Structure 1
Amino acid sequence: MNEKITLVTGDITHIHADAIVNAANSSLLGGGGVDGAIHRAGGPAILEECKQIRNRQGGCHTGDAVITTGGNLPARYVIHTVGPVWNGGSQNEAQLLKRAYQSCFRLAQQHDVKSIAFPSISTGIYRFPKKKAAEIALEAIRDALADNPALQEVKIVCFDEETRAIYAGLLG
C-alpha cells in the first residue's frame, strides 16, 4: 500500500486537506449527494464562484474540473469535477472517469495542493460500478503521485463500508 494514499470512511465536508473534490454536475450549481453536501457545508462563497465560472465558460463538461474556494469547509479549495453517468460501459465512461481524476490533479498541481481528498466519483446516482471506479481512481492516483512529488497525501473518502472494503481490497 502506498503510504501517501489514505482511506477514510465518513463525510468529505469534515476532511482537513488543502483541497477536497466535489463530484459535481455540469451546471456547477449544487445537487444531491456529495455535491449538495459540499455546497451546504461550504456556504454561499462556493456557489458564487461556481456561478462566475458558469458565466465565463458555461458550466463544466464531463471529465473536466474547475476550482473554487473552500468557503466554510476545512479545505482551502474545492475542485469540482464531473464524472460520467454509467451507460453500460459503451460510452467511454472509463476514459471519462480517468480524465476527471486527471483534471483534478492538474488543478491541484497548479494551485500547489499538497493534500487532496476524493469521494468515489460517479458511483452514486451516476451508477458507475464501484469496483471498476475504484480501479480507475487508484490508477489515476498512483500516476499523479508518481508525476507530482510535491503531492504528499491523497485521501479517498468512502461514504460507506462497502466502498471502503472495495478500496481496501485493491490497495492490499
Structure 2
Amino acid sequence: MWYEGSTLVIKTYKSGNTYYSGRVESKTLYGYGTYSFTANMPNGQGLLPAVWAAYLNPWLPEFDAAEIVGQNPNSVYQTFHDPNNAQTQFSKTNSAGWTNAYHTYSFTWWPDHIDFAVDGAITGTKWYRTAPGVGMRFIVNTAVGGDWPGNPNSSTWATADGARYLKVSSITYTPYYP
C-alpha cells in the first residue's frame, strides 16, 4: 500500500502460490451519518474489491458501500448485514463497467434506515425497527478467492505488471446527530 499524491493505492498480486492484498481500516468508530468512498476498483477472476464499514468487535453489523465480483465488473453490490447477519442486498448495473474508473459509493446511516447510493443516485433503502446503534470503522480492501468471487486464474494476473490495484481518492464521513 502506498499513496500517489492523495490517492491510496492497494496492490493485489500473486507471487508463487501466495496471493497478496492490502486492507486498511480506521481506528476510529463513526456513528450515524454519510460514509462515502471515491474508488477505482480492479476487475479480474477471483477478486472481490470492496469499500465498506463494520463494527468489528464483534464483526457485525456491516454496511457494504460497494463490492464488485471481479469477473462481473458490470454489477456493483451494496449490502446491509444486521447484527444476526441477515442480509439485504441492492445492486446496480453499468454496461460500461464499474471497474477501472472512479465512482463514488456511499451509504447514509439513519437511526431507522440506511440509504445506499452510487455516484449520488440512491440504489436502495433498508428500513429496520431497531438501529444497530454501534460505531462503524471504514474498511478498504481487495479479497482474493472465496465462495463468491471463486478462485483467481491465469487471466487475473495477465496485466503488464501482473497486479491489480484498488485506488481510493476520497473517504469522507458527514455526521448526523439525531
TM-score w.r.t. structure 2 length?
0.28
More RCO (CA 8 Å, sep 6+)? 2
